[in-house]
Structure formats: C-alpha cells, structure tokens
Structure 1
Amino acid sequence: MSKINPISGFPEFLPSDRIVEQHFLDVIRETFELHGFASIETRAVEPVERLSNQGEDADKEIYGIRRLAATADDDSGANLGLHFDLTVPFARYVLEHSGKLAFPFRRYQIQKVWRGERPQEGRYREFTQADIDIVDSGELPNHYEVELPLVIADALRKLPVPEFVIKVNNRKIPEGFYRGLGLDDVTTVLRIVDKIDKIGPDKVVERLVEAGATDKQAKLAVQLADISSTDTSFVEQVRALGVEHPTLDEGLEQLGAVMAAAAEHAPGLLMADLRIARGLDYYTGAVYEIYLVGQESFGSVGGGGRYDALASDGRTTYPGVGISIGVSRLVHRLISLGLLKGSRSTPTAVLIALTAEEDRAEAMRTAAALRQRGIPVEVAPAAAKFGKQIKFADRRGIPFVWFSTDNGPEVKDIRSGEQVPADPATWTPPGEDVRPQIEALEENS
C-alpha cells in the first residue's frame, strides 16, 4: 500500500474535536434562526467570470474545475470555479430566485468554501463559513448595519469563545478622504493601507509614494488609518485632519449612526477602526472584522460588510449587508491553543456489554428502548470479559456500561465505580452525560 501524504490546507478533525466544531455549528444555526434568518444552500461552483474581479487577488485564488477525461473540445465544465466565499453565490441566488423571495430577505448559509492560497496557521484552502445576510429590493435601510453585528455577538456569546470585539468602518470614509486628498485611485490606496498591520506604517507610506502619492498625502492616509474609538469621537478626529469631501461626510454620518445605535444596544461591542477596509471590492458601506481580544495578530475570525451593487439584473438592484463567522478558523485556533476539547470522542453515552454472543438480541432490544428516549447507545462489538469491555468504553470516553446480571440489568458509571439496578424503560443518565460536552478553560467557559 502506498504511503498516505497529507495535503496542507485541507484540515480534518479527530472525532473529539469534530464534536467541538459541531457544537459551534449547532449554536450558530440555532441563533441565526432565532433572529429570523432562513437557511439556504448554494451550489459549490459558479462561472469563473462571476467569481473573478472581486479584489483580494481573487482571480489567483479561484479553483477551476474540469473533468479529468475531458478532451480539448469538451467545454462541459469550462469556466466553472469553486466559490471562494458565500456572498458572491448568494447574490447570484437572489437574482435567480428574486420572483420567489420575500424582501427584505434574511438568509443564513453554512457551507464549505475554497481558496487557492498558501496554507498557514488559520488560513486554509478548504474551510467552513457561517454567513448571515439581509438583502432588499431597491433600497436597504441602514439600521441593518447595526442589527447584523448584534446577531453575530449573540451567537458568539453562547459559545466558549474568549472576549472578542467587532471592528467596524465605512468604505465611504477612506474613499472620500482619499479623493479629498486628490488620490483618485481609491482601490490601489485601500489595498496598500490594508497591509499596515503586516508591513507597518513607514512601509505603507513608501508604497503609497511609489504608487504616485506625495509624502504629505501618504502620511495623512496613514493618520486616518490610526484613528479608532468605541464611541462617535472618531468623527472629530477625522475632521481634525482637515480633509473635506461629500463622500467622506456621508461615510462619517453613516458610521456615526451605527456606533451610536450600538452604544445603546450593546455598549463596547463595536469599535470604530478606520484601518478596516476588507479586501473584496464589492463592499460599498459598512465593513466589519471580528477579532479575539489579545490575539489580534492572528487576524480576524470573521467579517463582512455592505454591498449595494453586487446583485443587479439591470432593472432592479438588490443591496445587502452581511457578516460571516470563519468557523474552521475560529475552532482550529481555540483547539490548537488547548482552550477547548470534547468531553469524549463519541456521542455514545451507554455501552451495552455482552457476556455471550447469544445475548446480542436482548442487548439490541435494550439499546432500542434507550434510544427511543433519546439516549445514545451502542452494543459491544463482541462478547468479552467485563474488564475488557469497560476498558473499551473508557478509551472512547463512554461514561456508562450496561450489564445483565443474575439480579437483572444494572448500569455502571465507570468514572466513579457506582453500579445500580436499571430499567431500560425508565433509567436516564444525568443531563450532562447524555451528549458530549465542550470542555473549556475556566476563564473562557
């Protein structure tokens, strides 16, 4: 048999860690539904033309697909690529099904996405995202830009996640500021300034000058990126830089409204941070990045923003705003730091022991009775000595072993050694033992 070589960037969990991930997915899904978001799933592929030209070197990251047996003149899979996020396919979905959707349309989507980038800690080529978006027909009220981070915060606060902050900006602020400076190639400036955390402010100034900015323009662009606040004081800080432009005014007003509303509903949740830009070109208003406090160097574990022109059929435009949680990125980070683990590697709560193979039929009946009451059960794979079966259960973290004795059935808690009579029609394990639990460090629980 040939040696199996792992493929980097395609993470796979062991069973106990998969239990952690599934818990996160369940809580996120339930929270999204509590807030009225409907579930959809889109196909894995989109036309490359639709996926490309979205910024952030998207063209280089798209995985194209084709049949291995395709001939040169076979175009059955031509120009199709795996989606690199869930927003672009969602925009297509809205256009395709607009006649059957009720607007404003609130959707959530939890799926795999693929990016052909260099794998490193927290960056994968295949990973799971959990998105929520609200899309409307024609106009989208700005109050949704406050609602979405509140929903995300509700989900994260139900999970064993360390303290987090959602940083927010408005793309109109840097755009208006740069135009007010006389820098009209906004996209280039945004992409250079977006690297400030990686290369530092001095290098950003150098690159801006190389791109055509004056030294003064470049330094003012960096000064804008240094502004942050947990209230609306960022407005005065921007005004103090002395740059004026109508688009800048609009962005400051919109972000100020978001921060004021957030201060009322969730004080301290949002931080206005004017270096947040998001690399994808379709964002037009509010943009968000989610960070674990004290682990900002790891990068964001989620983000999103407003997009006003991504979905349009030429007659009607469907503006939207959305945020995603990078589930794979977040869960892998917490597990790798030793902050989380599953309490066992299997959902099984009870192992039914076998003294002899002829007892299997009765054991199967017992298992069925317990499962009818929602207790996860499995029957021992083979008859063996009790000690061996207890070791089998212990290795997998199964807390209870069910025995047939001369006095009738009994169940043993193999952690404490306590063994008591049990009736499959009435016996129930403690609530915390029915399903695997997520074990966290005390300060994060």
Structure 2
Amino acid sequence: MARIAPLSGFPEWLPAQRAVELHVLDTLRETFELHGFASLETRSVEPLSQLLRKGEIDKEVYVVRRLHAEDDGSTDPDTLGLHFDLTVPFARYVLQHGGHLSFPFKRYQIQRSWRGERPQDGRFREFVQADVDVVGVDTLPRHYEVDLPLVMVEALRALDVGEVRMRVNDRRVVEALVRGLGLTDVPAVLAAVDKLAKIGPEAVGRLLVERAGASQQQAAAVLEVAGVTGTDLSVVATAAARLGAGSPELDAALPDLQHLLDAAGQVAPGVVVADLAVVRGLDYYTGSVYETELVGHEDLGSVCSGGRYDDLVSEGSTRHPGVGLSIGVSRLVSRLLRDGSVAATRPTPTAVLVAVTAEEARSRSDAVARTLRARGIPTDTAPTAAKFGRQIKHADRNGIPFVFFPGDGEDDLLGQAKDIRSGEQVDADARTWSPPEADRRVRVVRTEA
C-alpha cells in the first residue's frame, strides 16, 4: 500500500497535541464566559454574495458544489462558499435573528474556518478561530473598544504563552491624516500601508505612487505617519501640523485612541501600544483596529486581531455597530507545539488502568472501573488478561500513571493501586481511593524547551 501523505494546510494533531489544543480552547471558553459572552455556532457555508461583499478575496474562498452538479463555469451569487472567518457569518446571524437577541449582544464563537491561501508556518487552509464580539443597535459606546482587547489580553495571559504585545490604531486617525495630505483614494492608501510589515517601506512607497496616486512627497509623509508608535499620541498631532494634514476629523479621533491607550495601560501596563501602521486589510473596519504578537515570535504574525465595524451588520434602516477580535487558535497551537514550550502531561485522559486477572474475571475489573468513573476518575480496563507485567507496560506506553489490581476476595471493589512511576503500591478500595488531584486529569504544563 502506498504511503499516505499529509494534506498541506489541513492540520491533524496527535492525541498529546490535541490535549494542548483542548487546553487552549477550554481556557478561552472559560475566560469569555467569565466576561458574559454567550456561545454561538453558525453554519459552515454562506452565499458567495454575502462572503464577498466587503472586499474579501474571492480566490481564497472554497466554493461548495455537489460532485455531480452541472457547472457551466458561471458564478451564481447564490453559490455557497465555506466561511473564511467568523465575523461575516456573525453579521448575517445578527440580522437574521436580531428579533430574538438582547442588545448590546455579546457572543463568543469557537469554530473552524477555511481559506484557500498558500500554507506556511502558522497559516492553514483549515483552522480554528476563537472570536468575541459585541454589537449594539444604532450606536455602540466607545468603551467596548477598550473592554474587548483587554478580554483577549486576559485570555492570552491565562494561556501562559509568554509576553504579548497588542498594537492598536484607529482607522479614522489614518484616514483623516491621508485626506489632510490631499490624497483622495483612501482605500488604496490603507491597502498599501497594510502591507508595510510584509514588503517594507520602499515597496509601500512605490505602491502609494502607482496605485494611490501619491506624489513622492505625499508617499514620504504617509510613511512618516505610519511609523508612529508608542503610548503618547501628541507626536501625531505635531506631525500632522508640520505636514499640513490637520483636520477636525483628526481632532475628534485622536482623543478616542489616546483614551484606549490610557485605559488599557491601567489594566495591562506595557501591553497595548499605538502603531499607526496597523490598519487591517478588510474594508469593514471603521474605528479601532488591533493586532497582537507573541514577543519573541514576531515572525508568526498576529495571533489576535480585529476592530470596530459600524456598517458591516446593517440592512435597510437596521444598523448594528460592533467591535470584535479573533484569536487564531490553530496558529497559536502550532507555534506552541513546534517550540515545545508546552506539553500535555500524558497523551490519554485515562488516569487508572484496571488490570484483568483472567478473562472469566473481567466483570470484577469492570465493576472497579465503573465505580471509579462514577467518582469522576477517568478509568479504563486492560484490553487482555495478559501477565501483569505486560498490562503495566501497556499503561506505561499510554502514559497512564496508575494500575488498579482487583483482589480475589468476596468484595469485588477491594484491591491494590500501583503508581507505576514510583513503584509505590497500596491497598485500595475503589469506593474511596483516588489518585492525587494532579493526576486525575490531563494537564498542560510549560516546559524548559
């Protein structure tokens, strides 16, 4: 039989690796629920007309067709595509079910998405995302632009993945500066600036001239503005005045961004910083935007990003402005596994293996296992009534720390429990004996790798 090759961009974890992913998911879920976010799961497909209406790249969307369906090569707007993120499906969900929701509506969503891009380190074609969003009706208070990024900072800290840095901006600030410089094709300018980290300032300068109609002087001014970082935004006003790019719109947006920095700095000092090069590539963002890096792993790119959107969730006179951020779970897990910085304490959830003395006595072993499970102890019985040495080796190969040997007396639930790591063996009653708390469940721990 030919060797089965992995399918690039579609990760499959081994049991111990999956335990790490589950730890990440459970930690995120607990953090989100602590902050009052309700759980949602939307369908996996959306009409292409919905997926592509806000500037997304159609070639990255996987189209869903029946194997034997006729296809004349045309693109029907009702054709279905797998969603490439969770924000667009959530927008549709809010419009469809808004009459049953209470606003402001806070939701978290942990689900798979699909994107047909080139697989590389931390980038997959099938991946898990974890989103939090809050949407209002007609208006949404600006304080949510502070609250939600701090929820994500708390979640990442709970994962103990090391130091994180969240770079923030407000697209209104950049748009006001761009218009103040006399540039009219604002989307083209933002699209060029969004590539700054990938292609560098020289290449971005050429894009500004070739695609956004900027002069060399205007391109240089845009790059100067995009280079502003830190927590004190007075330098932005100073640069705008020197460049002649000041405006009432800029004066209105800068205080909101400064408030975000100040408020976040009180809760998470040094974590949230301004970076005017952060503009996010999707067209639906209209206010604060966020990108988060693992310090020391900047090559991985952003592991948590998002922003404010005022017009994405709108239909007719109904408008639901919102703020949302997304953690790339698969991206984060892949880096943790690659570096070996965390590991599961064992590859199986089983804490106790109940030995089988003989096949005709298996019912005795099953009774012990049922009793332990009823008390919340993950338990399995040995697959065969082999010699005890082989049963212990089976437990060792699977990382099971304890073996319970049933006795041969009248009480089926009496026997002995052996810690196969230390060799310690004690009399045990399945109704009362327990492994240490640290061994009851699989844990994920930091390593010295």
TM-score past 0.5 threshold: yes
For residues 348 and 76 of structure 2, what CA distance do their matches in structure 1 show?
Answer: 42
Instruction: Report if the CA contact (8 A) 1:65-1:78 is conserved.
Output: no
For residues 208 and 75 of structure 2, what CA distance do their matches in structure 1 show?
Answer: 43
For residues 65 and 274 of structure 1, what CA distance do their matches in structure 2 show?
Answer: 38
For residues 114 and 242 of structure 2, what CA distance do their matches in structure 1 show?
Answer: 41
Deviation at 1:2, TM superposition (A): 4.9
Deviation at 1:234, TM superposition (A): 4.7
For residues 319 and 13 of structure 1, what CA distance do their matches in structure 2 show?
Answer: 37
Partner-residue secondary structure (3-state), 2:314: coil
For 1:89, the equivalent position in structure 2 comes to 89
For 2:7, the equivalent position in structure 1 comes to 7
**1:358-395 deviations in whole A, cap 9, x for unaligned?**
12111111111101111000001111111111111111
For residues 232 and 195 of structure 1, what CA distance do their matches in structure 2 show?
Answer: 23
Instruction: Report if the CA contact (8 A) 1:65-1:77 is conserved.
Output: no
For 1:59, the equivalent position in structure 2 comes to 58
Is it true that 1:409 corresponds to 2:415 in the alignment?
yes
Instruction: Report if the CA contact (8 A) 1:282-1:310 is conserved.
Output: yes
Instruction: Report if the CA contact (8 A) 2:368-2:406 is conserved.
Output: no
Instruction: Report if the CA contact (8 A) 1:285-1:307 is conserved.
Output: yes
For residues 254 and 89 of structure 1, what CA distance do their matches in structure 2 show?
Answer: 28
For residues 445 and 215 of structure 2, what CA distance do their matches in structure 1 show?
Answer: 54
Instruction: Report if the CA contact (8 A) 1:376-1:434 is conserved.
Output: yes
For 1:71, the equivalent position in structure 2 comes to 70
Q: Which of these residues, 430, 433, 439, is aligned with residue 439 of structure 2? A: 433
What's the C-alpha RMSD, in Å, of the aligned pairs?
1.9
For 1:205, the equivalent position in structure 2 comes to 205
For 2:231, the equivalent position in structure 1 comes to 230
For residues 237 and 108 of structure 1, what CA distance do their matches in structure 2 show?
Answer: 40
The aligned amino acid for 1:319 is P
TM, length-normalised to structure 2? 0.95
Q: What are the equivalent positions in structure 2 for 1:341-420 lying under 5 Å apart?
A: 341-405=343-407, 408-420=414-426
The aligned amino acid for 2:151 is V
**1:258-310 deviations in whole A, cap 9, x for unaligned?**
11211223222211111111111100000001100122122011100000000
**1:155-174 deviations in whole A, cap 9, x for unaligned?**
11111211001111001111
The aligned amino acid for 1:29 is R
Partner-residue secondary structure (3-state), 1:248: helix
Gap change, CA 1:395 and 1:196, over 3 Å in 2:
same
For residues 379 and 76 of structure 1, what CA distance do their matches in structure 2 show?
Answer: 55
Deviation at 1:406, TM superposition (A): 5.3
**1:49-89 deviations in whole A, cap 9, x for unaligned?**
1111433x521211110110213599999511111110000
For residues 444 and 266 of structure 2, what CA distance do their matches in structure 1 show?
Answer: 32
The aligned amino acid for 1:417 is G
Flag structure 2 segments of 5+ consecutive residues without an equivalent: none
Deviation at 1:190, TM superposition (A): 1.1
Instruction: Report if the CA contact (8 A) 1:344-1:397 is conserved.
Output: yes
Deviation at 1:442, TM superposition (A): 5.2
Instruction: Report if the CA contact (8 A) 2:168-2:273 is conserved.
Output: yes
Deviation at 1:245, TM superposition (A): 2.6
**1:335-380 deviations in whole A, cap 9, x for unaligned?**
1011111111100000011121112111111111101111000001
| Number of equivalenced pairs | 442
For residues 210 and 394 of structure 2, what CA distance do their matches in structure 1 show?
Answer: 66
Is it true that 1:307 corresponds to 2:313 in the alignment?
no
Q: Percent identity?
A: 57
Flag structure 1 segments of 5+ consecutive residues without an equivalent: none
Instruction: Report if the CA contact (8 A) 2:228-2:276 is conserved.
Output: yes
The aligned amino acid for 1:86 is L
For 1:216, the equivalent position in structure 2 comes to 217
Gap change, CA 1:341 and 1:4, over 3 Å in 2:
same
Query: For structure 1, which segment, 391-400 or 152-161, has the greater mean C-alpha deviation from structure 2 after superposition?
Result: 152-161
For 1:177, the equivalent position in structure 2 comes to 177
For residues 232 and 222 of structure 1, what CA distance do their matches in structure 2 show?
Answer: 16
Instruction: Report if the CA contact (8 A) 1:351-1:402 is conserved.
Output: yes
Instruction: Report if the CA contact (8 A) 1:66-1:78 is conserved.
Output: no
